[in-house]
Structure 1
């Protein structure tokens, strides 16, 4: 009996030891899978080159002086009046330059009156200005071209100027003299002033063009970079002083694009 009990105790001890040695293993948690999504590379289209055309504003003409500018603006009108009424364009331009101070005088600026024509029964707009007497009445025009037309009619329709139209259309000297004699101006030096302007700025070239006596386009030169009066004088066989006189230049300065007359018009056309 004691033996059996001993065996029983030993068996219990073995079972107890076995249970104490049992190791509980924990299941390792697996690391979460990291899914990396790759976005396919999309090539962006190259930007098209845009060519922008830069349009430069028109460069205003530059003139040697106000008289040159006046001639450039009104020479075409003066030539049209010559064709229509037989008054030399040179005379019309010289009178306009003299009477309007090259377009800078009050009458021309405020009344578009380039020839100092007084009212004399005029029923249109008027302006009052000190002249031979205080606050005399002068004609006022909507546009300068009407002043040129009225100048033509003023001479053509008055008998005292009739002798003018017996003269040759290119005889600017006698036109200037007869204007003074007919009473157009009181200034004794009026003819000399007109003639001086005509010859200084070669205004008779416009008469020659109307009469078909002017030379072709080879009498002009358009200034390019590097041009000087000296180089042009050599090129066209003309002196610097003649070039300046022909174009009414007061200095030796030139600018690109400037149109110069390079061949004098013969005095006898």
Structure 2
């Protein structure tokens, strides 16, 4: 009897061990399968790309009355801010708007130079004997020279025009064609406006890189042909159709940079404007715009 009980117990134990092994194997296989499935379903993340591609925002150093580091975006925004004043001064005083803007960029470091920030002096004009307004001291050709100070930048632009008109040594400039910016650049240097022998080349470089001659043509009514097609300029036809993008301009939220596919109508709809209002804000006489051109929208 005892042998039968022992035998029965042995059989039960063996049966129990035999039944447990497949269960363990099944559990391992399931775990492995589950791990592999999870790994297969795990999303693979790639490096995100920018929604809006960056523009070619180059950096340069402007050396005038101070050393200033600027970007092409800063220069473009400077032009946008003061082009209307330059056009007005060309109409009133006969100085090419392109020359006015190029001098402003160079002399003020696109509005970021010490004199521009401290005294609203955008043309490096010194006090001279006839100056009765406020002044500041600044190191230039000599230590602590006297420079004119203005309540606002627009006054500096006006005084620049009066300065050229009122000085006898600049008389020869006004015998030149109003929109001959190369002759004006050389004439300013010859008349003693600047001592830098490369001054004319620097002015011409800004005019041609940023298509400033277009503003001369707006006054004279002559056809304008862009020299630098990547810079803001008006063309003879509107931009070809494509998917327009909102400009991500971090410097001037009140302006918009024309993208491929834009028209005045599409831009006016983006900013809830009438086309006529958009044209008036930007002194446009027709519907022609070009890629890279900056428009006032507010």
The TM-score range, normalised by the shorter chain, is: 0.5 to 0.7
Q: Map residues 1-269 of structure 1 onto 2, 5 A cutoff.
A: 65-121=73-129, 122-214=131-223, 219=237, 221=239, 224-225=244-245, 232=260, 261-262=290-291
- Contact conserved, 1:77 with 1:148, CA < 8 A, in 2? yes
- Contact conserved, 1:220 with 1:262, CA < 8 A, in 2? no
CA distance in 2, matches of 1:123, 1:162: 23
CA distance in 2, matches of 1:114, 1:82: 17
CA distance in 1, matches of 2:180, 2:120: 28
- Contact conserved, 2:189 with 2:197, CA < 8 A, in 1? yes
More contact order relative to length (CA 8 Å, sep ≥ 6) = 1
- Contact conserved, 2:136 with 2:149, CA < 8 A, in 1? yes
**Residue segments in structure 2 that go unaligned for 5+ positions in a row:** 1-70, 225-233, 248-258, 262-287, 293-298
CA distance in 2, matches of 1:219, 1:94: 27
- Contact conserved, 1:126 with 1:138, CA < 8 A, in 2? yes
- Aligned-residue RMSD, C-alpha: 3.1
The alpha-carbon deviation at position 225 of structure 1 amounts to 2.3
- Contact conserved, 1:88 with 1:172, CA < 8 A, in 2? yes
**Residue segments in structure 1 that go unaligned for 5+ positions in a row:** 1-62, 234-258, 264-269
- List structure 1 segments (4+ residues) > 6 angstroms apart after TM superposition: none
CA distance in 2, matches of 1:81, 1:173: 18
Listed one character per residue, the Cα deviations across residues 144-180 of structure 1 (whole Å, up to 9, x for unaligned) are: 1110010001101111100000000110000000100
Question: What's the TM-score once normalised by structure 2's chain length?
Answer: 0.54
* Residue aligned with 2:137, SS: strand
CA distance in 1, matches of 2:246, 2:127: 52
Listed one character per residue, the Cα deviations across residues 101-121 of structure 1 (whole Å, up to 9, x for unaligned) are: 000001111111000000002
